[in-house]
Amino acid sequence: MVAPLIKNSGEFIAKQIQYEKSQSLAAEADRALELIGRAIRMAGYQNANSSIASARKNSSSSNYIQIQKNNGYRGSDSLMVKQEISQGVDFDCIGNTLSNERTKNNLAQQGFLVDRQASATKGVKVNGGSLICQSLDRQGRIQNTTLMNGIHHLSFELLPASAG
């Protein structure tokens, strides 16, 4: 009488754990896509009060969003976006407040790419790579932070410009 109850409880707990893992992965994926979308929306932002704003008005906007195809883990693409700092409070992809210290040539930058899972021990089978967020530290150097694991591929496709 107790054995079936223990078996059912064990199955229920296993299913609950599986459900919670899938919910956690979905939340991580939603957050990662939110961060990528926010970075893309901010790409090319120019502060009107900036001393370099007038000099940049005539520069090409192609430098603000850069996509490199097939250069990451398993042929994944990478994305790098750049922007000036606003008068308000802005954050990078890992939650650091953007400041002049966290810029290079007066531009904040954020990158997203898939790399091998750094936390996986040697010889252990890994399920995909890690989605990495690249941002600048207070010395203007690139720092990598893992946003989530289990990413098999990241691809960015250019959409044709709409006429109207």
pLDDT digits (tens, 9 = 90+) for 40-96: 999 999 988 876 555 555 455 558 999 999 999 999 999 999 999 988 888 998 889
Confidence of residue 6 (pLDDT cuts 50, 70, 90): confident
Mean pLDDT value of segment 114-140: 85
| Reported pTM | 0.79
Mean pLDDT taken over the chain: 86
Q: State the Cα angle at 33 between 77 and 69, rounded to 5°.
A: 10
Contact 129, 73 (CB under 8 A): yes
> How many Cβ atoms from other residues are within 10 Å of residue 80's Cβ?
19
For strand 65-68 and strand 108-115, is the pairing parallel, antiparallel, or unpaired?
A: unpaired
* CB within 8 Å of 98: residues ≥ 6 apart: 85, 90, 91, 92, 108
* CB within 8 Å of 72: residues ≥ 6 apart: 78, 113, 114, 115, 129, 154
CA distance 149 to 30: 13
